[in-house]
Chains A and B, each alone.
Chain A
C-alpha cells in the first residue's frame, strides 16, 4: 500500500444531551487516508459520518465534544480533543492549511451580496490578515485555469451561477491554501447527475495535480463513491463496520449492512426494472442507548445469538477489514444480497 498521509486514531465524539448524558455519535473510530487517495465515508443519515468529519477538521463546537482521538498527518501529531473553549482559536492555523473541511451545503453559504472574488479575498485574509487583494485574485485565477474552469466566475454573484458551478467554486476556494487533506461532506448530494460528474472529475483532477494530498469524501451515495474513491469506510451507529478497497467492498461485501446498502442502489438497468428492494427494516438505533452486542443486530438478517450479546471484533482479510460475527463464521464469502424479482 502507498504511504499513509493521515491517520485519525480512536476518535470518540459525544453530544452532551440536556439530561446530562453524553451521546457518543462517533465511538472509537480509526480511519486512514493513504497518500494521493480518495477515501469514501458512507452510511445512513445519523450514523456519525459528518460528526467524524467535524471532529477531524477540529470544528467541534458545544454540544459536540471530542473526548478522545489523535490525528497524525505528515509527521505531526495533533490532539483532537476539545480541551478548552479557546481551542477554536488555537486551531485556526490548522484549518484550511492542514485539513480543510467543505461542509454540507457549503454552496448555499456564499454571500448573495458579494462577488465570488470578494469571498476569495475574505477566505485568504482569514488566514493571513495582510494577504494582498491582487495576490488573492491571481491565485484563484491560476487555480481556475489549472482546472479548466472559466475565470469569469470570479466576477459573478452567487445567484448568477448554477448549483453545480457554486459547489465547484466553494471546493476550489476551500483548497486555495493547498491543504494536505480535504474533507468534503456531501458535496454532490444537492446536484443533478451531470453536475455531480463535473464535480467528481474536478476533484480527481485536483488530486492528480497535487492541490491536496488526500480526500475524505462523505456521502450516502454509493454509486458516486464507487466512481471516485480508492477506499471506502462504512459507518453504522458511530462505528466503522467495514473498510477496504472500493472494489473489494462493492464486489465482495463482508458485512450485512454494507450488502443491504449496496442492494438499495437503483441503477438504470434491466435488473432494477424488475427487482423489488426491501431496504433495511427498522431505523438506526438511538445512540444514547445503543443495542447490546453488534449494534446492527436488531436489523440484521443474519443475526445469531452471539450478535445480541458480544460486540464483534474487527477482522481483516488482506487490507479489507470488517466487524461481524457472520463474516467470522463464513470466511472469504460475500454476504448474499436479498432482492426479489417480480
Chain B
C-alpha cells in the first residue's frame, strides 16, 4: 500500500476506492442472533461524500466498524483499491488503518485527559512512521486544514478546548495520516449548529483540496443534504434506498425514507397550532425597557 504521501487519487468513477460487497454482521444473543447489517453492498468513489442515514439501531455504526476493520464481518467482502482487505492482518492492516481514518461522535471520549493535544497528536504520528523532525510542521499543516493555529491547540489540554475545537482536532489528527478515506461517524451530532456548519465546511473543503473520500454517518438528513453527493438509507440493517442526494431527499421512493424526512423538525413549521401574522409595522414602536424598574 502507499507511503504517507500526497494523495494522488484521480476522480475515478469506475473503480471505487473502498467497497463493501454483501456484507453481513450477526451478533449472538440469548436464543439466536440479531442481524445488525444485512447483505449491504456500497461503493465509495474518490473525492465523493457518501452519507449513510438511518435512526438509532439501523446498523450504520456497525457497518462503519466493519469497514474500519475494527469488527470482523460475518460474511461478505471489503475491498480497498481493488484489494480484498476483509481478513488482512499485521503490517497490511496497519497500512490500511493509515489510509482509512475515522472521527467518532464524542470528541471528549477520544482524548486522554492527562495529555496535551500536542502530545496526543505526536503519539498518533507513530502510525505515520515519519522521520524525526517533520512532526511539528505536519501538525501545523493539518491543524491549518481545520482552521486552527498551533497556539490554539498544541499546548492545551482537552478540557480547555470547546466541543467544536476538539472535534476539529480529531479531524486534524486523522488528516495527519494522509488518509484516502475519512469515515465520520456522527462526528457533528454533539456540536451546536454554527460549529456543526464549520466542521461540515472543513469536510467539504478537504474533499475539494485533497480529493478525500468521505463516509458521513448521520441521523440528520439536513446535514446529509448539505454535504453529501450520495445518500444511503438504512433500516434494521438493510439498505432500503440508495441514490444521489437529490433523488433520495427530494423524491424519496421508500416509505422509511419518507418517514425519516417527515420526522425532521422544521424551523418554519410547528407542532403547535399557530396563526402567526407579522404585526403591522406601524402598530409597533421600538421602546427602551429597564428591567430593574419592572
Contact size range, A: 35 or more
Select A264's contact among B165, B197, B220, B285, beta carbons within 8 Å: B197
- Choose, from A57-65, A75-83, A195-203, A289-297, the stretch at the interface: A195-203
Q: B272 at interface (Cβ–Cβ under 8 A)?
A: yes
Residue of B nearest to A265 (CB): B267
Asked whether any CB of chain A lies closer than 8 Å to the CB of B27, the reply is no
Flag if B225 contacts A268 (CB, 8 Å): yes
Instruction: Answer whether residue B194 sits at the interface, using C-beta atoms and an 8 A cutoff.
Output: yes
Stretch with Cβ within 8 A of B (4 or more), from A90-98, A123-131, A270-278: A270-278
Report if A224 contacts B (CB, 8 A): yes
CB distance from A93 to the nearest CB of B (A): 29
- Residues from chain A with a CB closer than 8 A to the CB of B271 are 200-201, 204, 227-228
A7–chain B nearest beta-carbon distance, Å: 9
For A5, the chain B residues whose CB sits under 8 A away are none
Q: How far is the CA of A247 from the CA of B264 in the complex (A)?
A: 18
Nearest CB of chain A from residue B212's CB, rounded to whole Å: 18
CA distance in complex: A250, B271 (Å): 15
Interface bracket on B: 35 or more
A331 at the interface (CB under 8 A from B): yes
Number of A-B contacts (CB under 8 A): 172
**Cβ–Cβ contact B267 & A284, under 8 A:** no
Least distance between A240 CB and chain B CB atoms (Å):
10
Of all chain A residues, the one with the shortest Cβ separation from B246 is: A273
Which of chain B's residues have a CB closer than 8 A to the CB of A316?
A: 286-289
Q: Which of B213-252 contact A (CB under 8 A)?
A: 219-226, 245-246, 249-250
Interface, chain A (partner B; CB < 8 A): 9-10, 28, 30, 44-46, 162-164, 189, 191-197, 200-201, 204, 220-224, 226-228, 230, 245-247, 250-252, 260-262, 264-270, 272-273, 275-280, 283-284, 313-318, 321, 327-328, 331-332
Which residues of the other chain, A, contact B201 by a CB distance below 8 angstroms? 276-279
A272's partner among B195, B222, B259, B274 (CB-CB below 8 A) is: B222
Contact A267 B162 (CB under 8 A): no
**CB atoms of B195 and A45 under 8 A apart:** yes
Q: Which of B223, B263, B272 contacts A194 (CB 8 A)?
A: B263
B91 contacts the other chain (CB 8 A)? no
Cα distance, A46 to B198, chains bound together (Å):
17
Given contacts A204-B271, A247-B276, A272-B225, contact A264 B193 (CB under 8 A): yes
Residues of A within 8 A of B276 (CB): 245, 247, 251
Pick from A230, A269, A317: contact of B272, CB under 8 Å: A230
Contact with A9, one of B226, B264, B285, B291 (Cβ below 8 angstroms): B291
Complex formed: what's the CA distance from A247 to B265 in Å?
Answer: 15
Q: List 22 A-B contacts (CB under 8 A).
A: A45-B163, A46-B162, A220-B192, A221-B265, A226-B267, A227-B270, A246-B270, A247-B270, A250-B268, A262-B267, A264-B194, A264-B196, A264-B197, A265-B193, A266-B193, A266-B196, A272-B222, A279-B197, A314-B288, A314-B289, A315-B287, A318-B284
